[in-house]
Amino acid sequence: MDTSLSWIKAYVPDLDVTAQEYTDAMTLSGTKVEGYKALDADLENIVVGQILKIERHPDADKLVVCQVDIGTGTPIQIVTGAPNVEEGQKIPVVLDGGHVAGGHDGKMTPGGIRIKKGKLRGVESNGMMCSIEELGQSRELFPEAPELGIYIFPDSAVVGESAIKALGLDDVVFEHEITSNRVDCYSIIGIARETAATFHKKFVPPTVTVKGSGGDVNDYIKVDVKDADLCPRYCARVVKNIKLGPSPKWMQRRLAVNGIRPINNIVDITNYVMEEYGQPMHAYDLDTIAGHQILVRRADKGEKFVTLDGQERTMDDSVLMICDGEKAIGVAGIMGGENSMITDDVKTMLFEAACFDGVNIRLSAKRIGLRTDASGKFEKGLDPNNAQAAIDRACQLVEELGAGEVVDGMVDVYTGVKEPVRVPFDADRINALLGTHISKEQMLEYLKTVELEYDERTNEIVAPTFRQDVLCLADLAEEVARFYGYDNIPTTLPKGEATTGKLPFKLRVESVARDIAEFCGFSQGMTYSFESPKVFDKLLLDKEDPIRNAITISNPLGEDFSIMRTTSLNGMLTSLAFNYNRRNKNVRLYELGNIYLAKELPLTELPDERMQFTLGMYGEGDFYTMKGVVEEFFDKIGMHKKEVYDPNAGKNFLHPGRQANIIYSGKVVGYLGELHPAVADAYEIGDRAYVAVLDLPAIVPFATFERKYEGIAKYPAVTRDISMVIPKTVLAGQIEEVIENKGGSYLESYHLFDIYEGEQIKEGYKSVAYSIVFRAKDKTLEEADVSSAMKRILKGLESLNAELRQ
């Protein structure tokens, strides 16, 4: 909501503040000022001048030499190329050293352009006559300005006075951010009321009186509101003997400053009242209204209607229409119809000031694809009691401007009259909520400045209907706090029972995941929770793969963001691809983010949100690097049992020979592998990439941060190395299973120290060597202890077709 300082001052005459003071104080009292613009910021030293004499320039056909009276007694000489100057005209003149805002092409120069005296083709020129564009304005807002050339003042302008003032540019426009609960502040009057309260000045709203010209409005128009649920109030007044013409300069200026283009007196009045009272109005040519009757009803489904912008629009049956005896003449609260609009030969006019259901207007505007200033106001939900004030104000302006004769009376269809809300007042509880000690009298004073009156008899505050946000004591507390000043409220810390700060166990596990990933060189990424359904094909998933059962967003930002992810892989691969594309080397990323698995589709209850710890990398490192990260993580969260890796993971998107499910305590807790080359191609990753996905909900139950010291071994260990030739198909995991199961209670550890395939080893076999360590906690092991364990191990290995090498 933009408002000029001069318009606010019209209702707060004693206001005397700078733009910055206004900004600061209003922001602290709740009407946030986002910024302001002084209209004359880039204008300086510009006066009203009068052209006394025009002569041809001796050396230039397109230039003339003017003698200009600037009120100093001594005329100055100005050379101009403007085509429209004539002797006797009053014009804006920027004097030597002054500033204009821009060029006459309308292009603004921040900080303005300095004008200096000089010679034009050898003839001295001591200033410049200005076009409206050079003054930083446009013909849109100053329609009287000529298309090309110098702005011409009316004769009433006083030579020598400030041209900035004469044009009303000695003003500041504030941009306010109005919160949605303060519908009343989407109007100059509303903001002025807040301004008066903020600066403790008197608020003087317009005094509205309509003289009238006799007659009876009921003889001119009948109104029938069929769908009162969408139209709680409809006010209509009639103006006859219309005299269309331009509105006065003061009205044009106020509208212009608020960014509204002046058109004619009637249109300008409706716009003026919309700004002033926040109540949109509409003017119909009464002679186009068939049967001189208005019917407010819902549209028929598919009803077609041409709005006054000339567009044909299709309605549905929830859009409210204004109709006459035969046809629709307007879309309620959004835009009038071409068929009833005011034209130059209008004689009698119908003013409409109605109150429509805000939600319906908002949805209708969206449905028919037409959002207007009017619908923007209506959709906030207007006060029906404001409609009458506004229509009377419009009629008053018609009379003041001599734009027509107002017929006596108003047609008013008002169902369910809105009454003021009464809120029980309790100063102690307000203080208890705010943590203040403000006296009751002080509170009542604050409330009174914004017309929240105290009823002593009932101990209630009466909230006028325009304050639809005041409903309970907390609302009164806010009003008190605003005017007491939020800064004046003390600062304390909550007292009462102490509580322990806690990070839940799951988040502690996630924190370790981050630490480990980072120690291992992975940086944390974040990707979107929604993606394209096309990713399933990109990942080569089977048509029947349950991962395809994704939750769909009903109003996505396009197909690429239309489903909730059921795998974290696409985000990771997209990020790796992004890095690959940027030629980043040795990239390692991890992400902690949810996937969303529906329990059933379509969704009837909330889905299972599963936190995935996803790792991805390309460049240095291989499958076993990734495996190492997984095991470091498990180790750090107290999962010390041996992980099992099942190569039959069945992941189509991974290399068929380089993938595994990670099994812990018999449960699949994740998978890892090398990316399938076809998938790598699809993502345009030109290097071998490795991923691991750990399903944290499956892992967290195994995690523990309990630790127990088990002592440091006192007795010596005995180490035995074994070397064997074994079929290639036998996995190291199977050998280790044998060592683990047969090693007995003295088995402490084992590790693979050599693996070899190729020459010297027969076809289809590999050579594998392990070092096995035995130790007892309570004695030095004897040969017999170790050799019996070794015998069992060797026997077990023979069943895997291992040939022991000596």
Partner 1 sequence: MKEKLQKIRENAIEQIQAAKNLSSLNDVRVAILGKKGELTSVLKGMKNVAPEERPKVGQLVNETREQIEKVLEEAKTKMEALLREEKLKAEVIDVTLPASKNNVGHRHPNTIALEEVERIFIGMGYEVVEGPEIEYDLYNFEKLNIPEGHPAKDEQDTFYINKEIVLRTQTSPCQARVMEQGKLPIRMISPGRVFRSDEVDATHSPSFHQIEGLVVDEHITFADLKGTLEEFAKELFGEETKTKFRPHHFPFTEPSAEVDVSCFKCGGKGCRFCKGSGWIEILGCGMVHPHVLEMCGIDPEKYTGFAFGVGLERIALLKYEIDDMRLLYENDTRFLKQF
> Which 389-448 residues touch partner 1, going by CB under 8 A?
432-436
Q: Choose which of 77, 84, 109, 181 interacts with partner 1 (CB under 8 A).
A: 181
Is residue 553 close enough to count as binding partner 1 by CB under 8 A? yes
Ranges within 515-534 binding partner 1 (CB under 8 A): 517-530
Residue with Cβ nearer partner 1 (398 or 597): 597
Residue with Cβ nearer partner 1 (471 or 755): 471
Report the C-alpha gap between 89 and 54 in whole angstroms.
11
Residue with Cβ nearer partner 1 (492 or 806): 492
Residue with Cβ nearer partner 1 (604 or 648): 604
Least Å distance, CB 336 to partner 1, is: 25
Report the C-alpha gap between 294 and 573 in whole angstroms.
63
Are residues 403 and 234 in contact, defined by beta-carbon separation less than 8 angstroms?
Answer: no
With 0-12 / 13-18 / 19 or more C-beta atoms within 10 angstroms meaning exposed / middle / buried, residue 532 is middle
Ranges within 218-277 binding partner 1 (CB under 8 A): none
Residue with Cβ nearer partner 1 (664 or 683): 683
Is residue 318 close enough to count as binding partner 1 by CB under 8 A? no
Residue with Cβ nearer partner 1 (504 or 711): 504
Is residue 552 close enough to count as binding partner 1 by CB under 8 A? yes
Q: Which two tokens stand for residue 551?
A: 């939750």
Residue with Cβ nearer partner 1 (105 or 497): 497
**Start-to-end Cα distance in the chain:** 92
Least Å distance, CB 11 to partner 1, is: 22
Residue with Cβ nearer partner 1 (10 or 564): 564
Is residue 588 close enough to count as binding partner 1 by CB under 8 A? yes
Cα separation values, 654 from 191, 246, 517, 549, 584, Å: 64, 76, 21, 20, 23
Tokens 């001599």, located at residue: 402
With 0-12 / 13-18 / 19 or more C-beta atoms within 10 angstroms meaning exposed / middle / buried, residue 286 is buried
Strand intervals (E) in 301-364: 304-306, 312-314, 320-323, 328-331, 335-336, 349-355
Least Å distance, CB 428 to partner 1, is: 13
Residue with Cβ nearer partner 1 (601 or 678): 601
Least Å distance, CB 541 to partner 1, is: 22
Ranges within 128-167 binding partner 1 (CB under 8 A): none
Residue with Cβ nearer partner 1 (72 or 586): 586
Is residue 377 close enough to count as binding partner 1 by CB under 8 A? no
Least Å distance, CB 75 to partner 1, is: 43
Least Å distance, CB 805 to partner 1, is: 37
Are residues 142 and 135 in contact, defined by beta-carbon separation less than 8 angstroms?
Answer: no
Is residue 297 close enough to count as binding partner 1 by CB under 8 A? no
Report the C-alpha gap between 573 and 584 in whole angstroms.
14
Ranges within 15-74 binding partner 1 (CB under 8 A): 27-30, 32
Tokens 């449905």, located at residue: 367
Least Å distance, CB 555 to partner 1, is: 6
Q: How far, in whole angstroms, is CA 160 from its chain's centroid?
A: 49
Least Å distance, CB 608 to partner 1, is: 10
Q: How many CB atoms lie within 10 A of CB 213?
A: 14
Least Å distance, CB 33 to partner 1, is: 11
Cα separation values, 209 from 87, 190, 206, 334, 396, Å: 45, 20, 9, 28, 6
Residue with Cβ nearer partner 1 (251 or 334): 334
Q: Choose which of 184, 275, 379, 405 interacts with partner 1 (CB under 8 A).
A: 379
Residue with Cβ nearer partner 1 (73 or 496): 496
DSSP per position, 616-639: EEESS--HHHHHHHHHHHHHHTT-
Q: Choose which of 607, 670, 743, 796 interacts with partner 1 (CB under 8 A).
A: 607
Is residue 609 close enough to count as binding partner 1 by CB under 8 A? yes
Tokens 């013409």, located at residue: 245
Least Å distance, CB 569 to partner 1, is: 14
Is residue 610 close enough to count as binding partner 1 by CB under 8 A? no
Least Å distance, CB 620 to partner 1, is: 9
Least Å distance, CB 187 to partner 1, is: 17
String of contacts with partner 1 for each residue 322-361, x by CB under 8 A: ------------------------------------xx--
Ranges within 728-767 binding partner 1 (CB under 8 A): none
| C-alpha neighbours within 13 Å on the C-beta side of residue 658 | 18
Least Å distance, CB 500 to partner 1, is: 6
Report the C-alpha gap between 596 and 609 in whole angstroms.
5
For residue 667, what are the β-bridge partners?
664
Q: Give the three-class secondary structure for 679.
A: helix
Element housing 455 (H / E): strand 453-455
Residue with Cβ nearer partner 1 (80 or 614): 614
Report the C-alpha gap between 368 and 310 in whole angstroms.
14
Are residues 272 and 397 in contact, defined by beta-carbon separation less than 8 angstroms?
Answer: yes
Are residues 345 and 353 in contact, defined by beta-carbon separation less than 8 angstroms?
Answer: no
Q: Which residues contact 101 (CB under 8 A, 6 or more apart)?
A: 41, 42, 43, 108, 109, 112, 113, 134, 135, 136
Residue with Cβ nearer partner 1 (277 or 596): 596
Cα separation values, 566 from 550, 556, 594, 596, Å: 6, 17, 9, 5
Residue with Cβ nearer partner 1 (254 or 565): 565
Is residue 664 close enough to count as binding partner 1 by CB under 8 A? no
Q: How many residues bind partner 1 (CB under 8 A)?
A: 90
Is residue 564 close enough to count as binding partner 1 by CB under 8 A? yes
Q: Choose which of 110, 602, 666, 711 interacts with partner 1 (CB under 8 A).
A: 602
Least Å distance, CB 650 to partner 1, is: 28
Q: Which two tokens stand for residue 189?
A: 């009057």
Least Å distance, CB 574 to partner 1, is: 9
Ranges within 460-519 binding partner 1 (CB under 8 A): 469, 472-475, 477-478, 481-482, 486-487, 489-504, 506-507, 514, 517-519
Q: Which residues contact 558 (CB under 8 A, 6 or more apart)?
A: none
